[in-house]
Amino acid sequence: MSLHLAALALDNAAQILDHLGRCFAHRVAHEGRFSRPLLDAQQPTAFLYAHLLADLEAAQAGLRYATQQGPYEQELAQTYAALMLRRFLQRLVLREHEFGWQGDIYASLQTHRHWIEATLATPRLVALGQTLLDRDAEWSGAYGVSEDHEDVRRVFARFADEKVAPLAESIHRHDGILPEPLLQEYAAMGVFGISIPDRYNGSFVDHLTMCLATEELSRASLGAGGSVITRPEICAKALLKGGSDEQKRRWLPAIARGEVLVSVAVTEPNAGSDVANVRVSARPTDGGYLINGEKTWCTFAGRANVFILLARTGEADAGHKGLTLFLVEKPAKISETDHHHFSSTQRDGGRCEGRAIPTLGYRGMHSFSVCFEDYFVPTTHRIGEEGQGFALQMEGFSGGRIQTAARAVGVMEAALREAIRYAQDRQVFGKPMSDYALTRVKLVEMAATLMVSRQLSYHVASLMDDGMGGMEASLVKLLACREAESLTREAMQIHGGMGYSEEYPVSRYWLDARVLSIFEGAEEVLALYVVARQALSRYLSP
């Protein structure tokens, strides 16, 4: 097989998608400008378009990476490219008219048909599956990072295996909370400061380092591992963008050292991904503001010392322009015997009370619904000016989305490892399950999917280091989180009935993966209003 043929096929797909985008952009525009109502009227097509873009970007990232790697990685990259093109055809044939294009997509890709068929031929995939099974590690290919980054990865991998993994199942099965000794070890490792510059006592090197640390910790546990980085990441990004020098000096070093633990309070019962619809109010009072209303899905709210909270300081009809961001302090509840509820009353009577929301998975920090009643926050704790909250929160979320993609990659890595182990050990009809063609093909497709998801996240991390990649962070989250759900499902299926039991961790991976496409921006919202909107806007007048 040839990477050159794969590249030609992907270039052709990119040209087709470019034609579709140009045509569709005019269907969602009014007088040459993007129109939200017109997009909303054609949401299914826009949703499909965003996913096709994500698939194409992943396939291209896989090929770029594979050119610097060995034959095994090149074979995996071609496999994903062919899978992507087959899916491309399956989704688009007879739907060209929805985009307003008169071309024939099937005919346009006919020249690559034989390459796609040969790449996905069962004998080839079965043989590649044997190569996969013969490898001692890195079943989804070499990581392709520098020696310095590889050293970082090994440190976090060892920590994940020795410190986090032994606790993961117990925390999940008993709905437990991160134990204090583990939090202290995270702090000592610099985990909470991994997105904070060293001038504020942080340990930030680059976004790739953050992705590597997140992957390895998430491989051991999503809730008790990689997710501990998310809230400090979101808060730090917002502070670095809009905080005063005094706020940065006060809060960032304390967050980096793990002395201040953060919970994000943005979502509300009637305002999830529609952040501009936030209704929790911050009413001016002497020396500050009084917070009133309910926030939900505030992860780690019980143990946290501070919320980064988005509240409405302007009129309701002001939309996102009426939102302001605050740091809201509260006492941390450290008890490990009663960690599903907290209540705090201020000296002047302001109250803040939270109750944990029961969840299928993603356990270890708990997500809370939190009610505020005249809860006072001083003016010094406002980040930026009134009305800047939405933009600052989005700055934080862009970092959170690339980090969530890395969390998805970590969960996929864990699931693939378990699937390979089980397939090799389990005897079915007198021979190992891994000897069967279907099992091998599944494992190859899983490995290829994991590889490109990882490499796309690394590519986006490099863009973010250069001050770009906001839309791409949403795109890789869209892709990796969807693929995590699919991959963990296949890993569970390979386990058969034991996958549905609680004897093997693969059921935990599947439950945890399900939340990834929901939090940090729901899949539908990211696809429609970030990825599709920004991609289509490129074809319209400024």
Look up residue 369 and give its two tokens: 């619904």
The alpha-carbon radius of gyration of the chain (Å, integer) is 24
The SS3 call for residue 298 is: strand
How far apart are the C-alpha atoms of 212 and 486, rounded to whole Å?
22
- CB of 494 closer than 8 Å to CB of 419: yes
Which H helix or E strand runs over 18? Answer: helix 3-27
In whole angstroms, give the CA distance from residue 123 to residue 133.
Answer: 15
396: helix, coil or strand?
Answer: helix
Catalytic residue among 215, 329, 520, 523: 520
**Of 158, 209, 210, 163, which is closest to residue 185 (Cα–Cα)?**
163
Query: How far apart are alpha carbons 314 and 136 in whole angstroms?
Result: 59
Respond yes or no: is residue 520 known to be catalytic.
Answer: yes
| 466 φψ region: left (φ > 0), alpha (ψ -120 to 50), beta (else) | alpha
Query: How many helices (H) and strands (E) in the chain?
Result: 21, 13
Tokens representing 161? 């295996």
Q: Are strands 367-378 and 33-34 parallel, antiparallel or unpaired?
A: unpaired
Q: Residue 131 is inside which H or E element, if any?
A: helix 122-134
Q: Say if residues 338 and 176 touch (Cβ distance below 8 Å).
A: no
Do 485 and 513 meet the contact criterion of CB atoms below 8 Å apart?
yes
Taking the C-alpha atoms of residue 121 and residue 98, their distance in angstroms, rounded to an integer, is 32
Name the residues annotated as catalytic: 520
